[in-house]
Amino acid sequence: MSNDPNRAKSTPRAFSGIQPTGDVPHLGNYIGALRNWVDLQDSTDGIYCIVDLHALSVPREPGEVGRATLQMARVMLAVGIDPERSTLFVQSRVREHSELAWFIQCVTAFGELRRMTQFKDKSESNDFVSSALFTYPTLMAADIVLYDTDVVPVGDDQRQHLEIARDVTQRFNSRFGDVLVVPEARIAEVGARIMDLQNPQNKMSKSSDSVLGTVSLTDTEDEIARKFKRAVTDNDAEVRFDPENKPGVSNLLTILAAAKRTDPATEAENYTQYGPLKTDTADAVIEMIRPIQKRMAELDDGTVSELLTAGEDRAREKASEVMERVRRAVGLF
Catalytic residues: 122, 203, 206
* 14 sits in which H/E element: strand 13-18
**What dihedral angle (degrees, nearest 10) is formed by the CA atoms of 53, 59, 61, 62?**
40
User: What minimum distance in Å lies between the beta carbon of 106 and ligand TYM?
Assistant: 19
DSSP-based three-state secondary structure for 151: strand
Q: In whole angstroms, how close is the CB of 91 to ligand TYM at the nearest point?
A: 8
Closest residue to ligand TYM using C-beta atoms: 32
Q: The dihedral of CA 142, 147, 150, 156: what is its sign?
A: negative
Side chain identity at residue 179, one-letter code: V
List of residues contacting ligand TYM (CB under 6 A)? 15-19, 28-29, 32-33, 51, 54, 140, 143-144, 152, 154-155, 157-158, 161, 192-194, 203-204
CB of 237 to ligand TYM, least distance (A): 26
Cα separation, 220 vs 229, whole angstroms: 14
Rounded Cα distance, 262 and 40, in Å: 18
The Cα 121–Cα 100 span in angstroms is: 26
Q: Which is nearer to ligand TYM, 199 or 303 (CB)?
A: 199
* Cβ closest to ligand TYM, residue 204 vs residue 288: 204
For the bound state, the minimum distance from the C-beta of residue 273 to ligand TYM, rounded and expressed in Å, comes to: 26
Beta-carbon contacts of residue 95 (< 8 Å; ≥ 6 apart) = none
Neighbours of 242 (CB within 10 A): 14
Report the residue number, 16 or 173, with the smaller CB distance to ligand TYM: 16
Measured from the CB atom, the residue of 167 and 303 that comes closer to ligand TYM is 167
Residue 68: closest CA among 82, 52, 91, 81: 52
Min dist. Cβ of residue 45 to ligand TYM (A): 15
DSSP letters for 18-56: E---SSS-BHHHIIIIIHHHHHHTTTSEEEEEE-HHHHT
Q: Which of 229, 198, 230 is closest to 214 using CA atoms?
A: 198
Q: Residue 51 or residue 288: which is nearer to ligand TYM going by CB?
A: 51
Assign 3-class secondary structure to 261-293.
CCCHHHHHCCCCCHHHHHHHHHHHHHHHHHHHH
In whole angstroms, what is the distance from residue 35 CA to residue 136 CA? Answer: 24
Shortest CB 138 distance to ligand TYM, Å: 10
Closer residue to ligand TYM (CB): 17 or 200: 17
